Structure 1
Amino acid sequence: MAKQKVKEKAIEETLWQSCDKLRGSVEPAEYKHVVLGLIFLKFASDKFEQRRKELIAEGKEKYVEMKDFYAMKNVFYLEEISRWSYIIKNAKQNDISLKIDTALNTIEKNNPALKGALPDNYFSRLGLDKSKLASLLDTINEIDTLRDNGQDVVGRVYEYFLSKFALKEGKGKGEFYTPKSIVNLIAEMIEPYKGIIYDPACGSGGMFVQSIKFIEAHNGSKKEVSIYGQEYTNTTYKLAKMNLAIRGISGNMGEKAADTFHNDQHKDLKADFIMANPPFNQKAWRAENELLDDPRWMGYEVPPKSNANYGWILNMVSKLSENGVAGFILANGALSGGGEEYKIRRKLIENKLVEAILVLPQDMFYTTNISVTLWILNKNKKAHSREIGDEIRHYRNRENEILFMDLRQIGVPFEKKFIQFSEDNIKQITGTYHQWQVAEIENVPEFCYSATLEEVEKKDFSLVPSKYIEFVNRDENIDFDEKMTALKGEFAELLKAEAQSKNDLLNVFKELGYEIEL
Structure 2
Amino acid sequence: MTSINQDSINKALWAACDTFRGTISADTYKDFILAMLFLKYISDVWQDHYEAYQKEHGDEPALIEELMKQERFVLPKSASFYTLWEHRHEPGNGERIDQALHAIEEANGNKLKDAGKSVFQDISFNTDRLGEEKQKNTILRHLLEDFAKPELNLKPSRVGSLDVIGNAYEYLIKNFAASGGQKAGEFYTPPEVSELIAELLDPRPGDTICDPACGSGSLLMKCGRKVKEHHNSKNYELYGQEAIGSTWSLAKMNMFLHGEDNHKVEWGDTIRNPKLLDKNGNLMLFDIVTANPPFSLDKWGHDEAAHDKFSRFRRGIPPKTKGDYAFILHMIETLNPTTGRMGVVVPHGVLFRGSSEGKIRKQLIDENLLDAVIGLPEKLFYGTGIPAAILLFARDKQDDSVMFIDASRECKAGKNQNILIQDNIDKIVNTYRGGENVDKYAYVASLKEIQENDYNLNIPRYVDTFEEEEEIDLIAVRQQREQLKAQLAELEVEMAGYLEELGYDSLAGGV
TM-score range, shorter chain: 0.7 to 0.9
Secondary structure of 1:418's match?
coil
Query: Is the counterpart of residue 260 in structure 1 residue 263 in structure 2?
Result: no
- Please tell me whether residue 295 in structure 1 is matched to residue 310 in structure 2: yes
CA drift of 1:134 comes to: 2.4
Q: 1:63 to 1:212 in 2, by over 3 A?
A: farther
String of CA shifts for 1:123-149, please: whole Å, max 9, x gaps: 101336433332322222232322334
Q: Which amino acid aligns with 1:472?
A: F
Q: What SS does the aligned partner of 1:297 have?
A: coil
Task: Tell me whether 1:282 sits opposite 2:291 in the alignment.
Answer: no
Q: 1:180 to 1:289 in 2, by over 3 A?
A: closer
What amino acid maps onto 1:237 in structure 2?
W
Deviation, 1:213, is: 2.6
Q: 2:144 aligns with which of 137, 145, 167?
A: 137
Residue of structure 2 in register with 1:41 after alignment: 39
1:152 aligns with 2:167: no
Which residue matches 1:444? 439
* Number of positions where the alignment pairs a residue of Structure 1 with one of Structure 2: 446
**Is the alpha carbon distance of 1:192 and 1:276 closer, same or farther for their aligned partners in structure 2, counting shifts above 3 Å?**
same
Aligned counterparts of 2:3 and 2:64: Cα–Cα separation in 1: 34
Question: What is the rounded CA distance, in whole Å, between the counterparts of 2:69 and 2:363 in structure 1?
Answer: 48
Structure 2 residue aligned with 1:122: 124
- Name 2:100's counterpart in structure 1: 103
Alignment partners' CA distance in 2, 1:44 and 1:355? 43
* Match of residue 484 from structure 1: none
Change in 2 beyond 3 A, CA 1:234/1:70:
farther
Question: How big is each residue's C-alpha offset from its partner over 1:260-292, in whole Å with a ceiling of 9 and x where there is no partner?
Answer: 112110133111111201111112212435443
1:311-367 CA distances to partner (integer Å, 9 max, x unpaired)? 111100111112111111011111012122111111111111111111111111111
- Output the amino acid matched with 2:349: G
CA distance in 1, matches of 2:296, 2:249: 25
8 A contact 2:287–2:340 mirrored in 1:
yes
| SS class of match (1:433) | helix
Distance 2:223 2:215 in 1: 15
How far apart, CA to CA, are the structure 2 residues paired with 1:288 and 1:124? 39
State how 1:43-442 maps to structure 2 within 5 Å.
Answer: 43-57=41-55, 59=57, 61-65=61-65, 69-70=67-68, 72-74=70-72, 76-112=73-109, 113-115=111-113, 116-118=118-120, 120=122, 122-125=124-127, 126-127=129-130, 129-141=136-148, 142-145=151-154, 146=156, 147-194=158-205, 195-222=207-234, 224-254=235-265, 257-267=267-277, 268-288=283-303, 290-297=305-312, 299-321=314-336, 322-382=338-398, 399-414=399-414, 416-436=415-435, 441-442=436-437
Task: Give unmatched runs, 5+ long, in structure 1.
Answer: 383-398, 476-518
Amino acid paired to 2:79: S
> Residues of 1 paired with 2:438 and 2:407: CA distance?
14
User: Equivalents in 1 of 2:360, 2:209: separation in Å?
Assistant: 24
Q: Is the 8 A contact 2:31 2:123 kept in 1?
A: no
When Rg is computed on C-alpha atoms for both structures, the one with the higher figure is 2
Superposed CA RMSD in Å reads: 2.4
The residue matched to 2:418 in structure 1 has which SS? strand
1:308 deviation in Å?
1.3
- Cα distance in 2, alignment partners of residues 121 and 300 from structure 1: 41
TM-score (norm 2): 0.82
Q: Percent identity?
A: 30
Q: Please tell me the residue identity of whatever aligns with 1:259.
A: D
Equivalents in 1 of 2:313, 2:417: separation in Å? Answer: 39
Give the secondary structure class of the aligned counterpart of 1:177: coil
Question: Which residue of structure 1 aligns with residue 505 of structure 2?
Answer: none
Letter matched to residue 405 of structure 1 = I
Aligned-partner Cα distance in 2 for 1:219–1:373: 28
CA shift for structure 1 position 201: 0.4
Greater shift in the superposed pair: 350-359 or 212-221: 212-221
Q: Distance in 2 between matches of 1:82 and 1:210?
A: 31
Pick closer, same or farther for the CA change 1:150–1:7 going to 2, 3 Å: closer
Other-structure match for 2:481: none
Contact 2:24/2:130 (8 A) holds in 1:
no
Return the alpha-carbon distance in structure 1 between the equivalents of residues 141 and 468 of structure 2: 56
Task: Tell me how far apart the structure 2 counterparts of residues 124 and 474 of structure 1 sit (CA, whole Å).
Answer: 65
Q: 1: distance between equivalents of 2:468 and 2:25?
A: 43
Q: Is the 8 A contact 1:71 1:77 kept in 2?
A: yes
Question: Unpaired segments of 5 or more residues in structure 2?
Answer: 278-282, 470-511
